[in-house]
Chain A
Amino acid sequence: MRHIYLDYNATAPVHSEVLEAFTAFYRERYGNPSSIHWAGRRVKGAVEKAREKVALLLNCEPVEVVFTSCGTEADNMAVKGVAAALHDRGNHIITTRAEHPAVVNSCLALESQGFEVTWLGVDSDGMPDLAELEEAITPKTILISLMLANHETGVLLPVREIGEIAARRRVYFHCDAVQAVGKVPVDFKGMNAGLLALSGHKLYAPKGIGALVVRKGVKLAPLIHGGPQERNRRAGTENVAGIVALGKACELALDAMTADMRRIAALRARLEEGLMAAIPDVRVNGGRERRLPNTTNLSFLGAEADSLLLNLDLAGVAASSGSACSSGTLKASPVLAAMGIDPARARGAVRFSLGRETTEADVDYVLGVMPGIVERLRKGGAR
């Protein structure tokens, strides 16, 4: 059976050059970067070189990059670390229900410990109201946590404007950029963010490596205590090969992103428009203008997402309906609910996310199988 992977927002295959950098590193080097001897030095140098490559892609200083085990850890570290560092100054956090669970559940955990969280609404395009954001800020506000690109819809938030508000009101802005890095240009300095999270495996690096960018001077308590690694921000022996791989992935993204994304955007348009032309009652969820070039979230009215996805899988097509739950079961999307999308439409929502290995033939294969699947489901399952 043909296998077509259209779930790049869940994870991406490791780029061959990244894999080569990763395995070559482990073949040749094994030292602990904290060691003073030659074995440690050889590794320490590679880690710092990788840090520079990450900083180059994100337009930040290398010293601002803190390597973590994943994007979720970076988000937890940002939200909980600011809360722990600034709880004497204030206990108020602003975010939305459309954020990734790494942020939403971190905020919920803080809420249960006595922090106050303002859950801003988002409109049907997935956008928060910036006037509402500004009004929500109080003298007790210590953090605004808003994402750059939404994981389910691909919608891009106006982070530059959000950062301006945060800077003007002297509140930290944490930007969850996990879905954005490698897909659209990310300008850490330009967006006035205090913190920014990314994840390696979304940009063709292996799983198990992420980073939190922490602007110089930002007060942040560590999540993990231990040795003095990562300038006391994140203890634990570094995932050195993962770090090297992330550096390589960032280097490749810097070179290829513009061309890749132009090609991928054209494929996304072919898929989206093709499906809407071939199948009646298909709706795009989220604003279509400011969106990741690789993502489309489509509701097939009158069909259930999990049945659509299972049928697609049986036909060899990997797609998803938002964030995959740990047990592998499907639940209604909190992102679409936050956007006020009616539950019947949300239940039929499927996310296709394309990437660098996606071809026109892949898209055409999906255009070929999808109408029959939707038709069967709309007829109630009769074969």
Chain B
Amino acid sequence: MMKNGKHMRIVVAMSGGVDSSVTAALLKEEGHEVIGISMQVWDHSRFKGEESFGSCCSLDDIHDARRVAEQLDIPFYVVNFEEEFQRLVIDDFVAEYFRGRTPNPCVRCNQRVKFELLLRKCMELGADFLATGHYARIERDVSGVCRLLTGVDRGKDQSYFLFTLTQEQLSRTLFPLGGMTKGEVRRLAARFALRVAEKGESQEICFIPDNDYVRFLEEERGPGLLSGNIVDNRETVLGSHDGTYRYTVGQRKGLGIAHPHPLYVLRVDAERKEVIVGERAELASEGLTAGNINWIVAPSASPVETTCKIRYRHHPVHCRVEPLREGRAAVCFAEPEKSVTPGQAVVFYDGDVVLGGGWIE
């Protein structure tokens, strides 16, 4: 990509993984002035679980990123966002669970840290763009309006995590891998002989290397604070539990209740410390309301007939979106949908175009 026919200064957010390493290598090969930056977002020495887990955001991954940058012969920096990440992502993550919701810290990190603080840092370095290894595409029309599209590799598509991006942010962002499959990226990593070519996928929540979020929450706030009863829709007590945050809507395992039919978590009520369960049919909802809606391109008609995903691993379903006041929206599914989970994001898709999204209430 050229700007007025000139090569550009581009910062690549390098995690030490295959995707961001290939991103940097590609841009360097295109002749741009590439700068690698890793964000240090949490202190690995704080990890108190079992030892020896590989993890994103740890010093090991920063080390990998640094070594790739050396291999590519590009400047490399580590920026310390530990304090900001704690405040903007981790505190929110913990608070959401203690409100009975199931948060999505990766969207928060993109929204508040990567495409906010890091992007600002890039501009301070005089960079034209921030590039990341996300599997998503940005299309720019002649008037400069940006559209966000899914990654071509449908299995790796990460556009769900990017619905909060504004026009301002998109205009300064590049996703060079959006048009590729993971297989192609791995082949490129091999062609560039990147030392991380064989590296596995990063785990889901970078600040919980052992994936034991219950351990993490109880270390932050203390154990047993939200223990209470498991009840059905008629307030009949069926059992007890050790903390509402251990449960998420649609969950079937771990209830420990003998019942003639399989039971699922229908709702989590942190205030009353109750987990409400019921049969599979009761999981279905006609719709949902969402807050803090971000439209990537303002909708031309209202209500909007489109499709939506209500969690990352979800196939888009038909729905109608009716904007409400104060940035909220009512979403009505064409067919009842299972396991609407407060705290997760609802993201609207018109084919492969991301229209926007919001937070499920």
Contacts and interface: CB of A to CB of B under 8 A. Distances in A.
Interface of A: 304, 306-307, 310-311, 313-314, 327-331, 376-377, 380-383
Nearest to B66: A328
Interface of A is mostly: loop
B318 interface: no
B35 interface: yes
A329 B80 contact: yes
Nearest to B9: A314
Contacts of B124: 304, 307, 310-311, 376-377, 380-381
A331 B78 CA distance: 11
Contacts of B80: 306, 329-331
B192 interface: no
A383 B122 CA distance: 10
B62 interface: yes
A383 B78 contact: no
A327 B40 contact: yes
Interface of B: 35, 40, 59, 62, 75, 77-80, 120-126, 128
A380 B79 contact: no
B78 A311 contact: no
A327 B62 contact: yes
A311 B75 CA distance: 11
Given A313-B75, A327-B62, 16 more contacts: A307-B125, A310-B121, A310-B124, A310-B125, A314-B125, A327-B59, A328-B78, A329-B79, A329-B80, A330-B80, A331-B80, A377-B124, A380-B124, A381-B121, A381-B125, A383-B123
Given A307-B121, A327-B59, A327-B62, A383 B77 contact: no
Given A327-B62, A329-B40, A381-B123, A306 B79 contact: yes
A313 B125 CA distance: 10
A-B pairs, 3 with minimum CB distance: A381-B123, A329-B80, A381-B124
B145 to A, nearest CB: 20
Contacts of A382: 123
B121 A383 contact: no
Contacts of A313: 75, 77
A314 B75 CA distance: 8
Contact of A383 (B59, B79, B120, B128): B128
Contacts of B121: 307, 310, 381
Contacts of A381: 120-126
A274 B192 CA distance: 45
A136 to B, nearest CB: 32
A102 to B, nearest CB: 20
Nearest to A315: B126
Contact of A311 (B59, B120, B126, B128): B126
Contacts of B126: 311, 314, 376, 381, 383
Nearest to B37: A310
B114 to A, nearest CB: 16
B27 to A, nearest CB: 16
Contacts of A306: 79-80
A382 B123 CA distance: 6
17 contacts: A304-B124, A307-B124, A310-B121, A310-B125, A311-B124, A311-B125, A313-B75, A327-B40, A329-B79, A330-B79, A330-B80, A376-B124, A380-B120, A381-B120, A381-B121, A381-B123, A383-B123
